[in-house]
Structure 1
C-alpha cells in the first residue's frame, strides 16, 4: 500500500484526485496521507489546488456510492461492496428527513459510504446531498492541510 501511496504522490494533483476518488468510494484508502504529503512546502504544489482536487475527487467517489444506492439493488451492495442489508436499512430509517444534515458526515470512514448509499436509496435530492457532502469534505481536508503544514512549522 505504501508503494501505491508513493506512486500517487508522484502524480501530484492528479494523484491527489485519484486517491480522493478511491477514498470517497467503498475502497478502503487514505487520501489524507497523500494530501498531507502533497501540501508540504518541499513539494512546491499549491495547497488550494490540492484542496480542490481532494474535495472534488472525494465527492465524486461518494456520489458513486449514492448512485449505487439510487439503483436500489441491495443484492449488488451485498455481493460487491459487502454491505449488510440490516446496516443499510437502519441507516435509511435514521436518515429519513435528515438527508442534508447527514450528507455532511459522508466524509467519515466506513460509515460515510453507508450514509451515501442510504441517501441514494432514499432518493434524496442530489443537489442538496452533493452540496452538503462537499462542505463536509472541504472542512475535513482543510483540517488535514492545517495539521500537515502546522507540524512542519513546529519541526522547523
Structure 2
C-alpha cells in the first residue's frame, strides 16, 4: 500500500472509528470520483482502518473495566449506546458504524466484557457494510 491516498484513507477511517471525530466518508467519496483506485481496494482499506479503530475502542473499554469502575455515562449518546448493548447484546455491534453512537457501542461492549471474537466479527461486518453502502451509493 504505497499509495499516499490509500494511507490517507486508512488513517482517516481509523481516526473516524475511535472516540475522536473524523470524516472518512468524504475522503472515500472524493477518491471514488477523482482517483483511479479500484472501489474494491478503497473498500478494503477503509474497512480495515475503521475496523481497527473500533477494535481499539473495544480494547480500551475492556482495559478500563479491569482497572476502574466506570460511572454511568453522562452524555446522552453514551447512555443510549449502553442501553442498546444491554438490551440486544453483542449483536448491537452491527450498528457500530452509526455516527455518535457507534464508537460508544464499541467502548461499552469492551467495558461489559462482551465476547471478544463475536464482538470483533460484528464490528468488522458492521464497518464494512457501512463503506460498501457508501461505495454503492456513489459509484
TM category (shorter chain) comes to 0.7 to 0.9
Alignment match, 2:36:
44
How far, CA to CA, are the matches of 1:112 and 1:74 in structure 2? 22
How far, CA to CA, are the matches of 1:69 and 1:89 in structure 2? 14
Q: Is 1:23–1:29's contact at 8 Å kept on the other side of the alignment? A: yes
Alignment counterpart, residue 13 of structure 1, candidates 3, 6, 24: 6
Alignment match, 1:26:
19
How far, CA to CA, are the matches of 2:129 and 2:79 in structure 1? 28
Q: Where do 1:67-82 residues align within 5 Å? A: 67-71=59-63, 72=65
Moved over 6 A (4+): none
Count of residue pairs the alignment pairs up? 133
| Runs of 5+ consecutive residues of structure 2 not aligned to the other structure | none
Question: Secondary structure, in 3 states, of the residue corresponding to 2:20?
Answer: coil
How many angstroms does 1:92 deviate by?
A: 3.4
* Alignment deviations for residues 83-126 of structure 1 (CA, whole Å, 9 cap, x no partner): x7245566435423633310100101111111011100111112
RMSD: 2.4
TM-score between the two structures when normalised by the length of structure 1: 0.75
More helix as a share of residues: 1
Q: Is 1:51–1:142's contact at 8 Å kept on the other side of the alignment? A: yes
* Alignment deviations for residues 11-46 of structure 1 (CA, whole Å, 9 cap, x no partner): 211111111100000111111001111122x41101
Alignment counterpart, residue 57 of structure 1, candidates 49, 56, 60: 49
Decide which structure has the larger Cα Rg and report it.
1
Q: Is 1:89–1:118's contact at 8 Å kept on the other side of the alignment? A: no
TM-score between the two structures when normalised by the length of structure 2: 0.83
Deviates more, 1:87-96 or 1:116-125: 87-96
Distance 1:54 1:89, change over 3 A: same
Q: Is 1:91–1:115's contact at 8 Å kept on the other side of the alignment? A: yes
How far, CA to CA, are the matches of 2:119 and 2:43 in structure 1? 20
